[in-house]
Amino acid sequence: MFHKFSSSTDVTSQTPPKSSVQRSIRAAILSQWKIGVETLEQIWPKKESLIHVKCRNHISIYTIHGEPLFFQESDGPIYPTLRLLHKYPFVLPRVGIDRGAIRFLLSGANMMCPGLTSTGGYLPPPENALPAGTPVAIFAEGKEHAVAVGVTKLGTEEMRKVNKDVGVEVVTHLGDELWSQQTL
């Protein structure tokens, strides 16, 4: 999504959304992420004004004081940026990849099921299985922080059974253009 993103050419406008829109964004975040109201208040205080940065390809980035906090494609789910995910690693469910998949992930490739189901990979246990279409934080074997944010293309139980094809579609990763944008 942010493979060839440039704030000088891809940003079309920056506007503060109406308070009703900000309330709906807050409600969407609370329903999609695994956080409470207190944590959202730490991330985005109610008194702080959110800025909606509209970009090409129907991408919306939401910033506070110029710092990108979360983004959305069209009317899809709201994803945290990796910088926010490093501060609050518990906001999204986690999956893990083995060491062999790290170089492919950092070049922007989607994560295949074998990289998630191998010895170094991690999928949630069956009682916490994730359905297809769930935003997830992707952690790498032996690394402390998330290396990417993605969305599951298959349910985690289906990934274990099939063990081929794309398991997680990568939305943003370390080193992409959104990561390099400290402010917008």
Q: What is the pLDDT of residues 113-122, one digit of tens each?
A: 999 999 889 9
- Average pLDDT in the 149-175 region? 91
| pLDDT for the residue 39 | 92
| In 33-101, alpha helices (H) | 37-43, 82-87
Q: Return all residues near 146 (Cβ < 8 A) that are at least 6 apart.
A: 82, 85, 86, 89, 94, 137, 138, 139
What are 17's two structure tokens?
């959304």
| pLDDT for the residue 178 | 79
Assess whether pLDDT exceeds 70 at residue 30. Answer: yes
What are 152's two structure tokens?
């599951």
pLDDT in tens, 53-74: 888 778 888 999 889 999 998 8
Owner of token pair 């090409």: 56
Assess whether pLDDT exceeds 80 at residue 10. Answer: no
| pLDDT for the residue 87 | 93
Assess whether pLDDT exceeds 70 at residue 29. Answer: yes
Assess whether pLDDT exceeds 90 at residue 96. Answer: yes
What are 155's two structure tokens?
């349910």
What are 45's two structure tokens?
């205080």
At 112, the pLDDT band (50, 70, 90 cuts) reads: very high
Contact (CB, 8 A) for 147 and 174: yes
Gap between the Cα atoms of 104 and 102, Å rounded:
5
Gap between the Cα atoms of 130 and 40, Å rounded:
23
Assess whether pLDDT exceeds 80 at residue 19. Answer: yes
| pLDDT for the residue 78 | 92
Cα(first)–Cα(last) distance of the chain, in Å? Answer: 17
- Average pLDDT in the 117-133 region? 91
Owner of token pair 């370390």: 174
Domains (range + CATH), the chain: 7-87 (3.10.400.20), 94-177 (3.10.400.20)
Assess whether pLDDT exceeds 80 at residue 1. Answer: no
What are 176's two structure tokens?
């992409």
Name the pairing type of β-strands 135-140 and 94-97: parallel
Query: What pTM was estimated for this model as a whole?
Result: 0.89
